[in-house]
């Protein structure tokens, strides 16, 4: 009994009843197609997870960390200077503090680049400057 190969549509004579491909290469290629393999320079390769999904995962992770330390954000309310610099100091303190806590509790979740550290140093220096202005 002849039938059509499920992959290449050639007529073939199956040796067994459950054969649906004309040859082993059609069977292999069909399986590649089914599993979303890609033909990459001479061989088939299984599609990797899209990198952007991994990036999204780590972003969600960071958001969770931020959400899990809401007390840090509230700490800025304790800075009760009667000055225009209040909110500035508060924000700087909260930012620096939350950064520091994140770094302490989940150092791997934050890629501390040179820019990050420089920005943090700038924040701290500004904070020092503002505190100096306040206390002298």
Pick from 13, 16, 19, 26: which binds Zn ion (CB under 5 A)? 26
Sign of CA dihedral 10, 13, 15, 20: positive
The answer to whether 59 and 80 are in contact (CB under 8 A) is no
- Tokens 């290449």 locate to 8
43 half-sphere exposure, CB direction, 13 A CA radius? 2
- Exposure letters 79-103 (e unless 16+ CB within 10 A, then b): beeeeebeeebbebbbbbbbbebbe
Q: If DSSP codes are grouped into helix, strand and coil, which group holds residue 112? A: coil
Site for Zn ion in 97-126 (CB under 5 A): none
Lay out the site mask for Zn ion across 27-66 (x = CB under 5 A, - = otherwise). Answer: ----------------------------------------
> Between residues 8 and 110, which has the closer beta carbon with respect to Zn ion?
8
The reply on whether position 8 binds Zn ion by CB under 5 A is: yes
Part in contact with Zn ion (CB under 5 A); list of ranges 15-23, 48-56, 83-91, 125-133: 15-23
Pick from 5, 72, 85, 92: which binds Zn ion (CB under 5 A)? 5
Number of residues that bind Zn ion (CB under 5 A): 6
Binding stretches for Zn ion (CB under 5 A): 5, 7-8, 10, 22, 26
């Amino acid at each position: 009994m002849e039938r059509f190969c499920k992959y290449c549509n050639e007529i073939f004579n199956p040796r067994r009843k459950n054969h649906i491909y004309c040859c082993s290469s059609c069977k292999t290629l069909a399986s590649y197609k089914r599993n979303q393999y890609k033909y990459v320079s001479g061989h088939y390769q299984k599609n990797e997870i899209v990198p952007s999904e991994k990036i999204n995962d780590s972003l969600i992770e960071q958001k969770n960390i931020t959400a899990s330390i809401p007390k840090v954000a509230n700490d800025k309310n304790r800075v009760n200077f009667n000055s225009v610099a209040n909110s500035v100091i508060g924000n700087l303190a909260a930012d620096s503090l939350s950064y520091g806590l994140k770094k302490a509790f989940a150092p791997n979740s934050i890629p501390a680049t040179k820019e990050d550290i420089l920005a943090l140093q700038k924040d701290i220096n500004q904070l020092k400057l503002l505190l100096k202005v306040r206390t002298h």
